[in-house]
């Protein structure tokens, strides 16, 4: 009987320790974006001026599970939910203007491993990106409004530095938006931000 009690005690202690290694977090980021869109993607054969550089804000939250080797913290694995504003792309030409704004929500798996510097982690993530885009164009006395949405993917990588409950994070993300088989836009975002673990 005493061995059963001891085993139950060890199991409870182990479960409590495992629970302590789960870190929920929430964070904010600021990012700079650009895309791979060209004037021919807006109007085939045209020579429009494209401005695809913008900046925006994002918010994210998730959970990180620590993993250890030989009682040393080696890294984290987890899941993350984010909202991101990808800004605006504009195209202008003689008598013509067009703009598209996009934002979305992504759900990704994230993994991080400690690098040479203590409390510094390299991370990577991959997930699904649910996006919404609205477009406006005008020219030759007419105007046109349109909207589209879809689910594609996001990939990213970067670095995190841990100050106990607060982490500084910077990295790169690529968001894919496929309007149809002939219209795919990739938006790249360089970001920096901070997050708080609980």
Using CB atoms within 10 Å of the CB of residue 178, give its burial: 0 to 12 exposed, 13 to 18 middle, 19+ buried. middle
Convert the pLDDT of each residue in 140-174 to its tens digit: 778 889 899 999 999 999 999 999 899 999 999 99
Residue 24 confidence (pLDDT): 96
- Give the integer Cα–Cα distance in Å for 61 and 158: 17
In this prediction the pTM is: 0.83
pLDDT confidence tier of residue 38, bands split at 50, 70 and 90? confident
- Domains annotated on the chain, with CATH: 22-197 (2.40.160.20)
Classify residue 91 by burial, with Cβ atoms within 10 Å: 0-12, 13-18, 19+. buried
Q: What is the pLDDT of residues 44-92, one digit of tens each?
A: 667 788 999 999 999 999 999 988 877 777 889 999 999 999 999 999 9
CA pair distance 30, 190, nearest whole angstrom:
8
The rounded mean pLDDT for the chain is 85
Between residues 132 and 5, the one the model is more confident about: 132
As a whole number of angstroms, the distance between CA 102 and CA 143 comes to: 19
Which of 23-27, 64-68, 100-104 shows the lowest per-residue confidence on average (mean pLDDT)?
A: 64-68
């Amino acid at each position: 009987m005493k061995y059963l009690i001891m085993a139950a005690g060890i199991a409870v202690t182990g479960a409590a320790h495992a629970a302590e290694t789960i870190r929920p977090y929430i964070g904010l980021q600021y990012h700079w974006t650009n895309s791979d869109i060209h004037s021919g993607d807006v109007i085939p054969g045209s020579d429009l001026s494209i401005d695809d550089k913008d900046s925006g804000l994002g918010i994210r939250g998730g959970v990180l599970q620590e993993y250890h080797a030989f009682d040393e913290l080696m890294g984290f694995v987890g899941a993350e939910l984010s909202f991101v504003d990808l800004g605006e792309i504009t195209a202008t030409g003689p008598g013509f203007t067009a703009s598209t704004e996009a934002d979305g929500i992504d759900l990704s798996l994230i993994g991080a491993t400690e690098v040479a510097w203590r409390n510094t982690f390299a991370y990577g993530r991959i997930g699904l990106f649910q996006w919404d885009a609205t477009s406006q164009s005008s020219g030759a006395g007419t105007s046109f409004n349109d909207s589209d949405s879809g689910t594609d993917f996001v990939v990213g990588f970067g670095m995190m530095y841990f100050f106990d409950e607060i982490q500084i994070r910077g990295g790169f993300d690529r968001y894919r938006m496929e309007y149809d088989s002939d219209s795919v836009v990739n938006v790249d975002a360089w970001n920096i931000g901070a997050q708080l673990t609980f």
